[in-house]
Structure 1
Amino acid sequence: MEAAERSELRGRILDGRYLVGEVLGIGGTAVVFEAERIDDGADVVVKTLRPIFVDNPDLVRRLRREGEVARTVAHPGIVPVIDEGVLPDGSPYLVLERVRGECMARLLRRVGTLAPEVVGAIVMRVATILHAAHAHGYVHRDVKPEHIVMDRDVDGSLRVRLLDFGVCASDRAPADERQREVGRVFGTPSYVSPEQASGDPDVDARADVFGMGVVMFEALTGRLPFTGSNVANLLRRIIREDAPRAGLIRHDLDFAWDEFVARAMARVQDDRFPTMRALARGVAPLVGDRRIAESRLLALLESRGIAADGERTRPDTAAIRAA
């Protein structure tokens, strides 16, 4: 972490409302700080652009779009943007709720693979979030375990959040922005769909369906479906090759699950589930009793004291990344 990045903000009070603390993390284009809301002492995070990007109009627009998504979609699975402002250098900042819980990536590192029913329970929750976003014209484009955060809600039920809409596509994006996106890959390479890997900016819900398929594959097998010696090689494989079958790696995986994951990761868009709602409906019979599956997931979270203690997420799960 570059400790000097935006160091001038530490200890400052933004717009008389937020006391900025230490850096939580630095992503490709953004810096995120822990902060305190002065009025009530609430823990929040402040996200702003790295100094080298403050004059980039596309990145400024993307940061503001994160706030737009939170306001427009207004789904409990999307982290609320509490406030927005402008720094002295003219660049925007967002104030977000401080997320607590454990991200799926950390859970997988801790326990290895997950039972299919538990994976399905997570998928159903994330699918409802993505369906709401898609209904408002947004495609996330970076669905991956690091962006899925889980904990126990105040009423004792499972709470799942999907973080970081920083590289999302919008059907209301200006034409010049879309043109500049042609040929660029948005999202984390290991999880992007073939159309994303090809640099197509005009993606739809099926791109996120593919990303969800990769998440399922990884959670069930402990491996990523595609690897490469470098990013270009990896993207080439995603474009040209069919994804491997999860059942060939996890031999105890039921054929119905194997088929379901394969359909989500179909190389041809029309062969995938057409919407997140269709994905959720398809996985529901495989999950069975959803309450039991979610209880098993909560038990896994509590095995490290996450749901009980409300441990704060680390930088990669605090809605801080940006492409």
Structure 2
Amino acid sequence: MAPKGKYTCPHCGNEHPWIVDICPVKNLSVPEVLRLEGEIIDGKYEIGKRIGEGGMGVVYKGRHTIIERPIAIKFLNPQVATNEEVILRFQNEARITASIGHRNIVEIIDMGKFRGKFHYIIMEFLEGEDLATILKRRERISYREAVDIAIQVLNGLYVVHLKNIIHRDLKPENIFIAREPDGHFLVKIVDFGISRLLEKQGEKTSRLTKEGLTLGTPEYMSPEQVSGKRDIDHRTDIYSAGVILYEMLVGSTPFHSDNTSALLLSILNSSPFSPKEVYDEIPDALSQIVLKAISKNPDDRFQTAKEFSEALLPFSSNPHQFQVSPVSEKSKIEAESSVVIEFDKREIQFSPTQLMHASQPEVVAKEEKKKYRGKLWILLLVAFLVLIPSVSFIIYKSFWRNTKNYEKISSRENKNKERADLKPAQEKLELWKVNFDSLPDGAKVYIDGILHEERPVMIQDSNSPRLVRIEVKGEKIFEKEIPVRGDTWISLENIAKKENLDKKGFDKEVDVKKGLKKTKKEKKKIDEEYPTF
């Protein structure tokens, strides 16, 4: 944080006095909302370093001076605060989020206005990164990690929906992966800016959105949201959560296009490829769960976030860590009054009435048997004549369906060759071992922000470097992006030695002509003597 009365310039990175509103280096204007470091709000919230900035506002790290708690302070950009609807939406975010109170929802502490013009929200400070950043670096993540993240998102959504709130803008940027003191990750849903309370029976809701106005991020919007329907309910969030899980598994959203109109039409009319068609190692049952979550018709999706979460539990890395509420009596009754038969990977359910009739014993008098025995050969002949075309039709339909599936998969494989963000469907990722020498006792190893307690660390192959961080007693002792192309050894001792030699050898002033060659030779020698990975 800059000293009292100064701020860190967003243009040049230097510290300037608070009164300087034009960067002397870049000659660019610095708005007042970016010059608030060191100020105190309401006598207890100290504004620290600026940690985020966007079109709608600015986020600072801060400190509660009374209880010595780190906080995050979100300011609404005064340029957009001239719009009353934007202010209402900002305040709506604070009120709605504060009313939820769940570990998977970001905690709101306070809200108000600073200097009579800066609307702000005080919230808990989270260490970690959002899911969008992780996906940008890794493209996709293992299906068990993806399911673990999705379950926590759904646990938060379940409570949100119980409060008659829908988020309406779920996307990777609004899912924050925070680190807990014990090293495990905790998912937090953030940014309820365009959420709204569901209408209660007999009440009118003051909507912040007008009829037909579409709000949200297109790739993650449900078909009913895209079409601008007014009667959107909590199942739009279930669709968005399904799209996010799809993206974590595959590395791409189900529908995407540079043209927004084409994208929206795809969401409304096109059928997505199943995750298993893209990556064969994804279990078929998990693939079907994802496709159900992103069904076009809300009635075909999971009806609650809890139902979605429970379906994912078998694919979690630790199913017991996620608490599942007991099944209600009503659900038990419904479950007992139906029979599920596995046929061609589809479920066929019989209603209680059908079961009742199927289970009743047939009592037929001998006279009736004699009466129908004479006509039996006629019935058999009719059945035979009916079955021949039916069987032929079934065989034809099966052949046609398999042909269409073959064409669909072939089309997908062709697209995968053309698209940089998807890999061929037949490609399988391998697991690599990451070993460490000189690893201190009690050290915690994080790969891309996820704690790995197994030794050696097992990670999937990736085209992108992996961010390796090691902590001892909460202190970071090592952090570096390392390419993993096979089983890897990381020498912490050699890294430390190399860094010391680098400082010794390269901080000296050297002759420009001879120094460049000398520097390259010395660097090569150090690299050969002290291999790091």
Give the TM bin, normalised by the shorter chain: 0.7 to 0.9
Select 1:11's aligned residue among 35, 38, 58. 38
Deviations 1:223-249 (A, max 9, x none): 121112222332222122223322221
Please state whether the residue corresponding to 1:283 is helix, strand or coil: helix
- Could you list the runs of 5+ residues in structure 2 that have no partner in the other structure? 1-9, 12-29, 323-444, 452-466, 477-533
Please say if residues 89 and 208 of structure 2, whose CA atoms lie closer than 8 Å, have aligned partners that are also in contact.
Answer: no
Question: 1:239: which partner in 2?
Answer: 268
Structure 1 CA distance, aligned partners of 2:112 and 2:208? 28
Structure 2 CA distance, aligned partners of 1:310 and 1:234? 45
Residue 222 of structure 2 is aligned to residue 58 of structure 1: no
Question: 2:128: which partner in 1?
Answer: 101
Deviation for aligned residue 1:34: 2.4
Deviation for aligned residue 1:306: 8.2
Question: 1:273: which partner in 2?
Answer: 302
Residue 102 of structure 2 is aligned to residue 75 of structure 1: yes
Against the structure 1 CA distance between its residues 307 and 118, is the aligned structure 2 distance closer, same or farther, given a 3 Å change threshold?
A: farther
Question: 1:319: which partner in 2?
Answer: none
RMSD: 3.0
Deviation for aligned residue 1:298: 6.9
Structure 1 CA distance, aligned partners of 2:117 and 2:299? 44
221-230 or 18-27, which deviates more:
18-27
Against the structure 1 CA distance between its residues 21 and 275, is the aligned structure 2 distance closer, same or farther, given a 3 Å change threshold?
A: same
Question: 2:22: which partner in 1?
Answer: none
Please state whether the residue corresponding to 1:165 is helix, strand or coil: coil
Q: TM-score, normalised by structure 2?
A: 0.53
Deviation for aligned residue 1:94: 0.7
Deviation for aligned residue 1:92: 2.9
In structure 2, what residue type is equivalent to 1:32?
V
Structure 1 CA distance, aligned partners of 2:116 and 2:470? 38
Question: 1:304: which partner in 2?
Answer: 468
Question: 1:199: which partner in 2?
Answer: 228
Residue 257 of structure 2 is aligned to residue 228 of structure 1: yes
Structure 1 CA distance, aligned partners of 2:178 and 2:34? 32
Structure 2 CA distance, aligned partners of 1:10 and 1:78? 27
Deviation for aligned residue 1:193: 1.0
Residue 113 of structure 2 is aligned to residue 86 of structure 1: yes
Please say if residues 127 and 277 of structure 1, whose CA atoms lie closer than 8 Å, have aligned partners that are also in contact.
Answer: yes
Please say if residues 44 and 65 of structure 2, whose CA atoms lie closer than 8 Å, have aligned partners that are also in contact.
Answer: yes
Select 2:217's aligned residue among 177, 188, 205. 188
Please say if residues 151 and 298 of structure 1, whose CA atoms lie closer than 8 Å, have aligned partners that are also in contact.
Answer: no
Structure 1 CA distance, aligned partners of 2:475 and 2:236? 32
Amino-acid identity (%) = 28
Structure 1 CA distance, aligned partners of 2:471 and 2:243? 26
Structure 2 CA distance, aligned partners of 1:306 and 1:147? 27
Structure 2 CA distance, aligned partners of 1:168 and 1:200? 15
Please say if residues 153 and 159 of structure 1, whose CA atoms lie closer than 8 Å, have aligned partners that are also in contact.
Answer: yes
Deviation for aligned residue 1:269: 1.1
- Could you list the runs of 5+ residues in structure 1 that have no partner in the other structure? 312-323
Structure 2 CA distance, aligned partners of 1:52 and 1:208? 30
Structure 2 CA distance, aligned partners of 1:22 and 1:198? 42
Against the structure 1 CA distance between its residues 151 and 88, is the aligned structure 2 distance closer, same or farther, given a 3 Å change threshold?
A: closer
Please say if residues 293 and 301 of structure 2, whose CA atoms lie closer than 8 Å, have aligned partners that are also in contact.
Answer: yes
Question: 2:163: which partner in 1?
Answer: 136
Deviation for aligned residue 1:20: 2.1
Against the structure 1 CA distance between its residues 201 and 92, is the aligned structure 2 distance closer, same or farther, given a 3 Å change threshold?
A: farther
Structure 2 CA distance, aligned partners of 1:122 and 1:97? 20
Against the structure 1 CA distance between its residues 159 and 88, is the aligned structure 2 distance closer, same or farther, given a 3 Å change threshold?
A: same
Against the structure 1 CA distance between its residues 28 and 236, is the aligned structure 2 distance closer, same or farther, given a 3 Å change threshold?
A: farther
Deviations 1:26-52 (A, max 9, x none): 334232222232324433221122112
In structure 2, what residue type is equivalent to 1:304?
V
Q: TM-score, normalised by structure 1?
A: 0.84
Please say if residues 218 and 225 of structure 1, whose CA atoms lie closer than 8 Å, have aligned partners that are also in contact.
Answer: yes
Question: 1:36: which partner in 2?
Answer: 63
Deviation for aligned residue 1:271: 0.9
In structure 1, what residue type is equivalent to 2:217?
T
Structure 2 CA distance, aligned partners of 1:146 and 1:270? 27
Number of positions where the alignment pairs a residue of Structure 1 with one of Structure 2: 308
Against the structure 1 CA distance between its residues 172 and 269, is the aligned structure 2 distance closer, same or farther, given a 3 Å change threshold?
A: closer
Against the structure 1 CA distance between its residues 176 and 150, is the aligned structure 2 distance closer, same or farther, given a 3 Å change threshold?
A: closer
Question: 1:316: which partner in 2?
Answer: none
Residue 309 of structure 2 is aligned to residue 145 of structure 1: no
In structure 1, what residue type is equivalent to 2:313?
A
In structure 1, what residue type is equivalent to 2:132?
A
Please state whether the residue corresponding to 1:131 is helix, strand or coil: helix
Structure 1 CA distance, aligned partners of 2:475 and 2:225? 35
Structure 2 CA distance, aligned partners of 1:269 and 1:172? 18
Structure 1 CA distance, aligned partners of 2:470 and 2:86? 34
Deviation for aligned residue 1:156: 5.0
Please state whether the residue corresponding to 2:158 is helix, strand or coil: helix
Deviation for aligned residue 1:310: 8.6
Structure 2 CA distance, aligned partners of 1:292 and 1:110? 27
Please say if residues 241 and 267 of structure 1, whose CA atoms lie closer than 8 Å, have aligned partners that are also in contact.
Answer: no
Please state whether the residue corresponding to 1:210 is helix, strand or coil: helix
Please state whether the residue corresponding to 2:75 is helix, strand or coil: strand
Deviation for aligned residue 1:304: 3.1
Deviations 1:79-126 (A, max 9, x none): 111221212335531111111123222333333322222211111111
Deviations 1:127-180 (A, max 9, x none): 110000011011111222222222442345442211111121222699574274
In structure 2, what residue type is equivalent to 1:136?
K
Question: 1:250: which partner in 2?
Answer: 279
Against the structure 1 CA distance between its residues 190 and 5, is the aligned structure 2 distance closer, same or farther, given a 3 Å change threshold?
A: farther
Give runs of ≥4 in structure 1 deviating > 4 Å. Answer: 172-177, 297-300, 306-311
Higher RCO (C-alpha 8 Å, min separation 6): 1
Superposition pairs for residues 157-176 of structure 1, below 5 Å?
157-171=184-198
Against the structure 1 CA distance between its residues 307 and 278, is the aligned structure 2 distance closer, same or farther, given a 3 Å change threshold?
A: farther
